[in-house]
Amino acid sequence: RAGLKYFGSATDSPGQRERAGLEHVYPQYDAILANPDEFGQTTPTNGQKWLFSEPEQGVFNWTEGEIVSSLAREQNKILRCHALVWHSQLAPWVEAQEWTAEELTEIITAHVTNVASHWKGRCYAWDVVNEALEEDGSWRQSLFYRVLGEDYIKLAFRLAAEADPEAKLYYNDYNIERPGAKVDAVLRLVTMLQDEGIKIDGVGMQAHFTAGEAPSLDQQIDVIQSYEALGVEVALTELDVRLDKLPPTEELLALQKEDYKNSVGACAQVPACIGITLWDFYDPFSWVPYTFEGEGAALLWFEDFSHHPAYAGVVAAL
């Protein structure tokens, strides 16, 4: 509760959620998403990514990204925007050839400038760079890093600040919710930008967990405070807690409840943590079963729209 500005849920644009094959549930799903008592914020899970926003070089397409961002506007929800520079879900043309440093600099400049300018003034925050780090804290050898080194990160933040001065600029990553090498690397990344006078406002902890394995309340409080000590804010940007075995058992759902409670509780207790976003709220629309075989039931609403026990855990922690 300390510094919390919102509790929200990401949602896919219809073109993406169709893969669940559940068109008949859309009205019920949409009503829950629209309910201001449930969610005051949203993020498009896919529509603003490079693959959709610049599918051909210099050809920008706002259709997918606008679906969720216009919904946010209609429903008066805070909008988090996701993600400007990421090695994954890149448009194929970016990966199709080896670029020189000069060419890639131009490509990033055109992309970040056009995309951030299109949504100028509408995003509470942008995930400017997503997942630039490996588990051991070294830089991920993405195509951006291979050609430009860490300069691509500085470039992306500089460009985003110019294009949308009002937006909070975030570095976003996963497995940075418990103390360790990757968290230390995030702290170095933030410091690197600050030392050069480049604007960075926040760290996004994706918070994709497996039930029974999530970091403890104290570990998460520690980590949030270590980001806070650098003067940046923090958000849980993609929270979900998947079960590694299906169907759900009472025991697994109890572990999941504990994990949700700890994560939401840690954010609610540290003033620097300003918001929490579920990576969708309805199990059938979760990315988990498509990405982690045999896993799922990661969110707060089951397929029949009943609540997971974790729903009460979240309410208790807020």
Rounded to a whole number of angstroms, the minimum distance from the CB of residue 83 to ligand XIL is 6
Residue 202 and residue 235 in contact, taking contact as beta carbons nearer than 8 Å: yes
Annotated catalytic residue 238: yes
* From 54, 64, 131, 177, the catalytic residue: 131
The size of the interface with ligand XIL (CB under 6 A), counted in residues, is 8
Question: For the chain, what is the radius of gyration of the CA atoms?
Answer: 19
* From 54, 64, 177, 238, the catalytic residue: 238
Residue 146 and residue 174 in contact, taking contact as beta carbons nearer than 8 Å: no
Phi-psi region of 222 (alpha: psi -120 to 50; beta: other; left: phi over 0): alpha
Site for ligand XIL in 141-180 (CB under 6 A): none
Task: Using CB under 6 A, pick the residue from 11, 46, 262, 277 that binds ligand XIL.
Answer: 46
Task: Using CB under 6 A, pick the residue from 9, 41, 45, 269 that binds ligand XIL.
Answer: 45
Site for ligand XIL in 48-107 (CB under 6 A): 83
Task: For residue 142, give both structure tokens.
Answer: 């993405």
Annotated catalytic residue 228: no
Residue 19 exposed, middle or buried by CB count within 10 Å (0-12, 13-18, 19+) = exposed
* Secondary structure tally for the chain: helices H, strands E: 13, 9
Longest alpha-carbon distance in the chain: 56
Contact mark string toward ligand XIL, 274..313, x via CB under 6 A: -------------x--------------------------
Considering the complex, state which of residue 124 and residue 287 has its C-beta at the smaller distance from ligand XIL: 287
Cis peptide before 83 (omega within 30 of 0): yes
Rounded to a whole number of angstroms, the minimum distance from the CB of residue 244 to ligand XIL is 17
Residue 267 and residue 276 in contact, taking contact as beta carbons nearer than 8 Å: yes
Residue 307 and residue 278 in contact, taking contact as beta carbons nearer than 8 Å: no
Rounded to a whole number of angstroms, the minimum distance from the CB of residue 48 to ligand XIL is 10
Residue 280 and residue 230 in contact, taking contact as beta carbons nearer than 8 Å: no
Rounded to a whole number of angstroms, the minimum distance from the CB of residue 47 to ligand XIL is 10
Considering the complex, state which of residue 54 and residue 238 has its C-beta at the smaller distance from ligand XIL: 238
Q: How far apart are CA 231 and CA 222, in angstroms?
A: 15
Phi-psi region of 90 (alpha: psi -120 to 50; beta: other; left: phi over 0): beta
Rounded to a whole number of angstroms, the minimum distance from the CB of residue 173 to ligand XIL is 8
Contact mark string toward ligand XIL, 217..256, x via CB under 6 A: ---------------------x------------------
Residue 18 burial (CB count, 10 A): 12
Task: Using CB under 6 A, pick the residue from 13, 48, 53, 130 that binds ligand XIL.
Answer: 130
Rounded to a whole number of angstroms, the minimum distance from the CB of residue 282 to ligand XIL is 13
Residue 285 and residue 19 in contact, taking contact as beta carbons nearer than 8 Å: no
Contact mark string toward ligand XIL, 12..31, x via CB under 6 A: ----x---------------
Residue numbers at the binding site for ligand XIL (CB under 6 A): 16, 45-46, 83, 130, 206, 238, 287
Catalytic residues: 131, 238
